[in-house]
Structure 1
Amino acid sequence: MATDDIATRALAALSGKALVDTASGMLAATAGLTSHEAARYLRAYAARRGRGPAEIAEQLVRRTVRPEAVLADAAERR
């Protein structure tokens, strides 16, 4: 594997993690959750939709998915 490929993959992974961290913070602030709980809600919401957490996180950050939608979905599952 070329060095450029490794660097590109590493940057993509960091970018995805940053999105998940930011989206988890948005969920935590909206619902008074810990960041760990918020990340769990995000992962569960993504899994139920057959999507990756980073994809849903990007939608949250871009405001095409509302934090309340993720939280309401989790509440319905309880």
Structure 2
Amino acid sequence: MTSSPATQAALSSKGVPDIAAGMLAATAAITPAEAGARLRAYARVHHRRPADIADALVRRTLSPRSVLAPET
């Protein structure tokens, strides 16, 4: 999968974790701080690094709704 020039520019100018937190914040109408906390919590539950979760969100191989869904 190739990224558009606009996507590449965004990734160059802002860190992937910030972009991922912004995606979560926009999806759930929560603050970026809360979005970051949710990203970290999801990573912890799934035994993954937060950076890996952020990367998957930005690459759209993981949906924001999956990260935001309550764990059961």
Both proteins in one fold, TM over 0.5: yes
Once residues 58 and 69 of structure 1 are traced to their aligned partners in structure 2, the CA distance between those partners, rounded to angstroms, is 14
Q: Does 1:22 align with 2:19?
A: yes
Which is helix-richer, 1 or 2?
A: 1
Q: Does 1:47 align with 2:61?
A: no
Partner SS, residue 33 of structure 1? coil
Q: Percent identity?
A: 57
Q: Is there any run of 5+ residues in structure 1 with no aligned partner, and where?
A: 1-14
Partner SS, residue 25 of structure 1? helix
Once residues 35 and 65 of structure 1 are traced to their aligned partners in structure 2, the CA distance between those partners, rounded to angstroms, is 18
1:53 CA drift (Å): 0.5
Alignment-derived partner of residue 61 in structure 2: 64
Q: Which amino acid aligns with 1:63?
A: R
1:59 CA drift (Å): 0.2
Question: TM-score normalised to the size of structure 1?
Answer: 0.71
Q: Which amino acid aligns with 1:50?
A: H
Question: Which aligned segments of 4 or more residues in structure 1 are displaced greater than 4 angstroms?
Answer: none
1:76 CA drift (Å): 3.5
Once residues 76 and 49 of structure 1 are traced to their aligned partners in structure 2, the CA distance between those partners, rounded to angstroms, is 10
